[in-house]
Structure 1
Amino acid sequence: MRLSIWPGAGQPYGELVAAARHAGETGWDGVYVADHFMPNAGGVRLPDDPVLECGSLLAALGALVPRVRIGALVYGITYRHPAVLANMAATVDHITDGRFILGVGAGWQVNEHEQYGIELPPVKQRLDRFVEALRVLRGLLTQPTTTLDGEYYQLTDAYCEPKPVQDPLPILIGGSGEKRMLRIVAEHADAWNTWGRPDLIAHKMAVLDGHCAAVGRDPRSILRSAQALTVVDGPLPENMPMPVIGGSPGALADTIAQYRAIGLDELIVPDGFLGTGADRLKAMDTILGIVRG
């Protein structure tokens, strides 16, 4: 099972780079960055909650950190035109010499759309547009030219050069909706990601397998990754909206074994509860030791 770190983009740049470099130097497999412009704070923008921009960070990490995979969790299509994003992705793939993962999603965070005046359509329209965006991305990244007369995107003999180093560059889709989103994953994704503890991930994986069977896709051709807030040694936070694992090295080892048993391909660890500075690096080493056995 692969192991990747997800350093929060709300920390100082130097600290984020330090975590990514430590991952690269000690044997982790990947580094991911979220694509948001502010915390999910219900429309409130506070002066002490800065967030670094994802695309710029990925280019920097790709140049600074060798060996590991670099990816987004995930670019929001509502504010990233897919033709522009395709060019960004191809460039970062060259910067990393073929280590980039293009993570994309349909968009969801209300406050950043409201503050920037960016439309956040109803879910059905958002997913319809997302499917068109995936066609744009796949076309531009793999074909000499792409023409699309869609409802949301119109391209005429459009090209994206140079093409990525990877052929094809892997597209990761983030999402968990069982009826529509996991069907889109089955039809379009090279990799899939969502939040959840092992029991929920096992259920979602079974649903994804069903969609793969319906569209004639080998389910093993889609890499599956998941994450949960991670506590190495300490009390688990209460009333968290996101799943939390760990509390002690032993408890964390048990949960990691469960992820491995259900066939998860990659565990992604957000660094929000790992501490800072030397404490965070020590926690990362503990997690790495558990996963590698």
Structure 2
Amino acid sequence: MRISIWPGAGQPYADVLEVARHAAETGWDGVYVADHFMPNAGGAYAPDHPVLECGSVVAALGATVPRIRIGTMVYGNTYRHPAVLANMAATVDQITQGRFTLGVGAGWQINEHEQYGIELPPVGKLIDRFVEALQVLRGLLRESRTTVHGEYYTLTDAVCEPKPVQDPLPILIGAKGEKRMLRVVAEYADMWNTWGRPELIAHKSAVLDRHCLDVGRDPRTIARTAQALTVVDGPLPTDLPMPVIGGSLGKLADEIAAYRAGGLDELLIPDGLLGTGTDRFKAMDKVLSLVR
């Protein structure tokens, strides 16, 4: 099972770079960056708390941090035209010499759409739009020319050059909805991601397997990735909306083993509960020791 770090984009770039470099130097497999412009309304941070822009950060990390894979977790489809995103992804893959993972999702955070005047359609249309975007992305990144005449996007004999170094560049889809979104994963993704503790991930992975069989795809061709907030040594917070693992090294080891037993290919560790400075490095080292 691979292990990757997820430094929060709501901290100075120097800190994100520090975490990524430590991960690369100590044997982690990847580093992921979230795609948001501001904290979610009602969350732990004030609405004007600084947040770094994802595309700029992954390009910078790709140019300065060696060896480790770089990924987005995940680009919101509503924020960028997929043809623009395809060119961004191909360029970052060139910068990293083939180490980029393109993580994408349908989009969801209401306050970002409201403040910036970006349309956030109802869920059904949001997913329809996302499916068309995936057709655009796959075409531009993998074919010499792409034509898509859809309801949301129109491309005619379009090119995207240079192509990514990787052939194909892996497309990761963030999705939790079992009825429709996991079917989209089965149809279009190389990798899948969602939040959850081991038992939830195992359940949703089994649902994804069934969708793969329905569309005639080998479930083993989709890598499974997941994350939960992680406490290495201390009490678990009880007031957070996201799943949390750990609390002690023994408990964390058991939960990592459960992810592995459930068929998880890659575990992402958000750095939000790992501390800062040297404490964060020590926590990262302890997590890594449980996986290797």
Give percent identity, aligned residues only.
77
Aligned counterparts of 1:218 and 1:224: Cα–Cα separation in 2: 13
Q: Is contact 2:39-2:47 (8 Å) kept?
A: no
- 1:168, CA displacement in angstroms? 0.6
Q: Is contact 2:41-2:47 (8 Å) kept?
A: no
Counterpart of 1:65 in structure 2 is: 65
Residues 149-228 of structure 1: pairs in structure 2 closer than 5 A: 149-228=149-228
- 1:143, CA displacement in angstroms? 1.0
CA displacement 1:26-79 (0-9 Å, x = unmatched): 000000000000010259994761000000000000011111110000000011
Aligned counterparts of 2:43 and 2:249: Cα–Cα separation in 1: 37
Counterpart of 1:134 in structure 2 is: 134
* More divergent stretch after superposition (225-234 vs 139-148): 139-148
Residues 247-262 of structure 1: pairs in structure 2 closer than 5 A: 247-262=247-262
Aligned counterparts of 1:223 and 1:194: Cα–Cα separation in 2: 12
Query: Structure 2: any 5+ residue segments left out of the alignment?
Result: none
Taking a change above 3 Å as real, the CA distance of residues 120 and 70 of structure 1, as seen in their structure-2 partners, is same
CA displacement 1:7-35 (0-9 Å, x = unmatched): 00000111110000000000000000000
CA displacement 1:119-178 (0-9 Å, x = unmatched): 100000000000000000000011111111100000011100000000011000001000
Counterpart of 2:277 in structure 1 is: 277
Q: Is contact 1:38-1:45 (8 Å) kept?
A: no
Q: Which runs of 4+ in 1 moved over 2 A?
A: 42-48
Structure 2 counterpart SS, 1:97: coil
Taking a change above 3 Å as real, the CA distance of residues 167 and 45 of structure 1, as seen in their structure-2 partners, is same
Counterpart of 1:88 in structure 2 is: 88
TM-score by length of 2: 0.98
Aligned counterparts of 2:253 and 2:46: Cα–Cα separation in 1: 37
Structure 2 counterpart SS, 1:52: coil
* More divergent stretch after superposition (40-49 vs 240-249): 40-49
Aligned counterparts of 1:283 and 1:118: Cα–Cα separation in 2: 39
Q: Is contact 2:110-2:120 (8 Å) kept?
A: yes
CA displacement 1:87-125 (0-9 Å, x = unmatched): 000000000000000000000000000000101000000
Counterpart of 2:116 in structure 1 is: 116
Q: Is contact 1:43-1:111 (8 Å) kept?
A: no
Across the aligned residues of Structure 1 and Structure 2, the Cα RMSD in angstroms comes to: 1.3
Q: Structure 1: which amino acid aligns with 2:187?
A: E
Aligned counterparts of 1:170 and 1:32: Cα–Cα separation in 2: 14
Counterpart of 1:99 in structure 2 is: 99
Q: Does 1:2 align with 2:20?
A: no
Aligned counterparts of 2:37 and 2:48: Cα–Cα separation in 1: 13
TM-score by length of 1: 0.98
Taking a change above 3 Å as real, the CA distance of residues 282 and 43 of structure 1, as seen in their structure-2 partners, is closer
Q: Is contact 1:101-1:172 (8 Å) kept?
A: yes
Structure 1 counterpart SS, 2:93: helix
Q: Structure 1: which amino acid aligns with 2:94?
A: H
Q: Is contact 2:104-2:174 (8 Å) kept?
A: yes
Structure 2 counterpart SS, 1:268: strand
- 1:239, CA displacement in angstroms? 2.3
Counterpart of 2:240 in structure 1 is: 240
Q: Is contact 2:142-2:168 (8 Å) kept?
A: yes
Structure 1 counterpart SS, 2:285: helix
Aligned counterparts of 1:91 and 1:18: Cα–Cα separation in 2: 23
Aligned counterparts of 1:205 and 1:129: Cα–Cα separation in 2: 24
Aligned counterparts of 1:48 and 1:143: Cα–Cα separation in 2: 41
Aligned counterparts of 2:46 and 2:286: Cα–Cα separation in 1: 34
